[in-house]
A and B are shown apart, each in its own frame.
Chain A
Amino acid sequence: MRQIIHIFKKDVRRHWPEILIGLILLGLYVRITIRGVEDRFTGYSFPLLLFSERSIPVLMIFFWIFLSVRLVQGEAPVGNRQWWVTKPYEWWMLLAAKELFLLAFIGLPLFCVQLFLLHHAGFPIFLNVRGVLNMQLGLALALFLPSAALGSLTKNLGQAVIGVVIVFAGLWASFTLIERIPSSGMSFAVEGSGEIVSLVLLAGVIGSLGWQYARRRTWASRGLLLAAVVLVLLLAVLTPYAKFVERQYPLIQASDTPAHLSAGTIDPAGKKKFQEFDFMPEVVLSIPIRVSAITPGHVVLVHGILVKVQTADGLTFSSGWKPQWIPLWSEDDQKVVRYELKREEYKRTKSQHVALLLELALTEYKETEARDLVLGGAEFTDQRLGICHLSPTERSQIACRRPFGQPGLIASFDPAQSRCDAWDDENQLPEDKVTHYWSAPSDGDSPDPGLNPVDEYQISFGPRMWLGRSAEYTKTKPKVVHLCPGARVRLAKPEQVREVRTRMQFTDVRLEDLADN
């Protein structure tokens, strides 16, 4: 322990200017975060503030990476000419001293700031300490550990920068590669895949860091990290995503599905065609489907879609499963699902009369713990929602803040049950149907790694204002929800009922009648 403190003190003496800069950045972050919240609530925001709000956290994170790398390279494990390598350092004490430094001068100040932000936003500190600690743990695993590993596997800052470039280039190449794998967008259907990937990467980072400190075998440690990345890539490439989707979402009879879905009406004349973007490798098809028979109080989420195109001469092609995020409600009668098809295949068959075989992966949720909330004019506190108020700028929104992310929520608003002011906008019409807001249940409400423990979110009903261009498209005025004090909103917690798969068929359609671009 004495050696840890001894090395720690030496590092403090060396890095005090960086410690100071880090604390100043953190102070600026607090200032702009608090100011940002205040300005947003009064509907007033400076461009400079917006700029700072986005740039300071990025700057802060890059500075922390820089400091971590520099700290570790103070006793660089790469090479054999360093003065310290023939001194009686215990490797784990050296590593512990570095971690202690990061904890003391990044983790602890950030922890205090996070508690302060919670307090400032009106949330109790003690009830949320555990969540903040979880955030810190997440940040340590996602940021500081990889930064320390980067520092330990490179000899100087120049090499570290090259390392960062390689990491980003590798990530870009990996994502590009994985995107090309059919159905890879449905990776959420592979149970535990996220956890496995995280564990493999974490094991690679911790293993390479530990090995490098214990044995200073740089190339072997780099190899270990690379092996973890390659293993993740191999897992991503070799996973039979379509099979996992079929297993996760078992096929059932159309009559047993949580929503009766059938082919919608295709109206080529009524559809305004966007410009054709030949340079885009894919064409987006907008496919209308009819929806009925959804149990009131339930929501059916279209999680994925598979489209197979069958031509008259027997040719069949598809781009595999594509993820969707479309909630279907009991009030809905028609929805549009979108599917990307390879442009070359589209071009070959766009004018032909073809059959479309659709498979939809559906997840049904039901409302639990439902209750009514009567909105007040002032800010109000709700145990599930957090601290909320009616948005002063968006009349269809309730703006909320809550520690550690928004909750899983089904919110419904029936205009017939509320008496809000008369509509005064000539370009829009008041919504007269029940509208909903939906957010998926999170996994045990565990906080994600991040800086600010207070998450701001909006419960938004109906189409957003910026979708006004759809008026031109449909030649009708958009319907917009208007919330007001006294309006009654139904709130419920979503509980998953089942996951199923269903099929439907469109016959005798032309792809060019469905294409968006």
Chain B
Amino acid sequence: MTATIQTHELTRHYRKLRALDHLNLEVPEGAVYALVGPNGAGKTTSIKILMNLIGATSGRASVLGMDSKLIRGKAYTQIGYVSENQEFPEWMKVGALLAYVRKFYPTWDRDLERALVKQFELFPDRKIKTLSRGMKMKLALASALAFHPKLIILDEPFGGLDPLVRDQLIEGLLELAGEATVFLSSHDLAEIESFASHIGYLEEGRLRFSEEMTSLCMRFREVELTFHSDRSVPASVPASWRQVKAAGATVRFVESQFDEARTTAEVLRVFGDTKETVFRPMGLRGIFLALARKEGEA
């Protein structure tokens, strides 16, 4: 599978602040890649460099096979971009904006445009300055999807939106994105959990990990061991065990490299016989908390 987005040692400084620190990232074609991380992690900076809105201090990036520094003009006919803080031409009406932007794209699909307007409940006669934030995001998404882009880049698209609008946007995005690769940033794990195929975690400008959602969920398990008598946490446990805690006859931990046979064997090696062993799948939030706490402890 070829990479739609690729970065190599991408670094960006704002004076003394290192917003992005040697970022190496690959987004496969057709993926829905979510770049997550807390506010100020460097997500927007990464996206702006990819879109050639700002330059990198060092390193390089390619988007759709093009050096990101060369992305301008016609290159944008293949990329749909939506950002939470985009400044619209407020004086225009919704219909006029779509009619205006339509002519810039040779692949613009009028039927898709109509479908998006209908699905997002946009009113063509309303001035943009009278639209709510959610409506503006819908309009931005409609104008970014109607030309069948190869790549859709969304920068915090759901931030501050009410759940109904957010679900509408996600639904629209998934239905209509088609074969496009989607790259989006978010600081809210819950909103991307349901549809992202790949995930990357950015913190303080560094990419902590980047992998497929299924493999991430497969390798993390919450493990609960029940014994016949009270137990304490052993001095030495495998490195893949995180947050090991003992409470009476119960020991709990997070296994970050789960393999049922191997994990069972390691439990037996460390604790001996158990009364009961339970492996529970984890949500994205639980996985990130486990990762964050481990980092914090370090």
Contacts from A to B (Cβ < 8 Å):
2-3, 6, 10, 13-14, 74, 79-91
Contacts and interface: CB of A to CB of B under 8 A. Distances in A.
A2 B103 CA distance: 9
B83 A81 contact: yes
Given A13-B96, A86-B81, A89-B104, 14 more contacts: A3-B104, A79-B87, A80-B48, A80-B53, A80-B54, A81-B83, A83-B87, A83-B89, A86-B51, A87-B104, A88-B74, A88-B75, A88-B77, A89-B76
27 contacts: A3-B103, A6-B103, A6-B104, A10-B100, A14-B89, A80-B48, A80-B53, A80-B54, A81-B83, A81-B87, A83-B86, A83-B88, A83-B140, A84-B89, A86-B53, A86-B76, A86-B79, A87-B76, A87-B101, A87-B104, A88-B73, A88-B74, A88-B76, A88-B77, A88-B105, A89-B104, A91-B72
A71 to B, nearest CB: 13
Contacts of B140: 83
Contacts of B100: 6, 10
A339 B149 CA distance: 74
Contacts, number: 50
Contacts of B236: none
Nearest to B82: A86
Interface in B210-230: none
Interface in B55-102: 72-77, 79, 81, 83, 85-89, 91, 96, 100-101
Contacts of A86: 51, 53, 76, 79, 81
A88 B104 contact: yes
B53 A85 contact: yes
B68 to A, nearest CB: 13
A305 B217 CA distance: 91
Contacts of A80: 48, 53-54
A199 B88 CA distance: 38
B89 A74 contact: yes
Nearest to B48: A80
A453 B105 CA distance: 45
B278 to A, nearest CB: 49
Contacts of A79: 87
B51 to A, nearest CB: 6
Contacts of A74: 89
Contacts of A87: 76, 101, 104
The secondary structure that dominates the A interface is helix
A79 B75 CA distance: 20
Contacts of B91: 14
Contacts of A14: 89, 91
A89 to B, nearest CB: 7
Contacts of B96: 13
A85 B103 CA distance: 16
B81 to A, nearest CB: 4
Nearest to B55: A217
8 tightest A-B contacts by CB?
A80-B53, A86-B81, A88-B76, A88-B77, A90-B73, A88-B104, A81-B87, A83-B88
A80 B100 CA distance: 20
A91 B53 CA distance: 14
Contacts of B77: 88
Contacts of A2: 103
B89 to A, nearest CB: 6
Contacts of A81: 83, 85-87
Nearest to B104: A88
A90 B73 CA distance: 5
A75 to B, nearest CB: 9
A13 B85 CA distance: 25
Interface in B137-189: 140
A3 B103 CA distance: 8
A91 B75 CA distance: 13
A74 B83 CA distance: 19
A86 B77 CA distance: 9
Interface string B256-282: 000000000000000000000000000
B284 to A, nearest CB: 29
A74 B72 CA distance: 19
Contacts of B87: 79, 81-83
A480 to B, nearest CB: 63
Contacts of B72: 91
A413 to B, nearest CB: 63
Nearest to B139: A83
Contacts of B105: 88
Nearest to B69: A215
A6 B108 CA distance: 16
A14 B97 CA distance: 12
Contacts of A82: 86-87
A10 B103 CA distance: 12
Which residue, of A10, A83, A91, has the highest number of chain B Cβ atoms within 10 A? A83
A293 B16 CA distance: 76
A88 B100 CA distance: 12
Which residue, of A79, A84, A88, A89, has the highest number of chain B Cβ atoms within 10 A? A88
Nearest to A217: B55
A26 to B, nearest CB: 25
A86 B79 CA distance: 8
Contacts of A83: 86-89, 140
A468 to B, nearest CB: 60
A89 B73 CA distance: 5
B128 to A, nearest CB: 9
Contacts of B89: 14, 74, 83-84
Given A81-B83, A86-B79, A91 B73 contact: yes
A84 B87 CA distance: 9
Nearest to A214: B72
A91 B76 CA distance: 13
B100 to A, nearest CB: 6
A517 to B, nearest CB: 55
A41 to B, nearest CB: 47
A373 to B, nearest CB: 60
Which residue, of A10, A74, A87, A91, has the highest number of chain B Cβ atoms within 10 A? A87
A243 B293 CA distance: 77
A44 to B, nearest CB: 47
Which residue, of A2, A79, A89, has the highest number of chain B Cβ atoms within 10 A? A89
Interface in B24-70: 48, 51, 53-54
Contacts of A84: 89
Nearest to B53: A80
A13 B89 CA distance: 13
Nearest to A90: B73
A502 B279 CA distance: 108
Nearest to A84: B89
A42 to B, nearest CB: 48
Contacts of A91: 72-73
A91 B81 CA distance: 18
Nearest to A94: B73
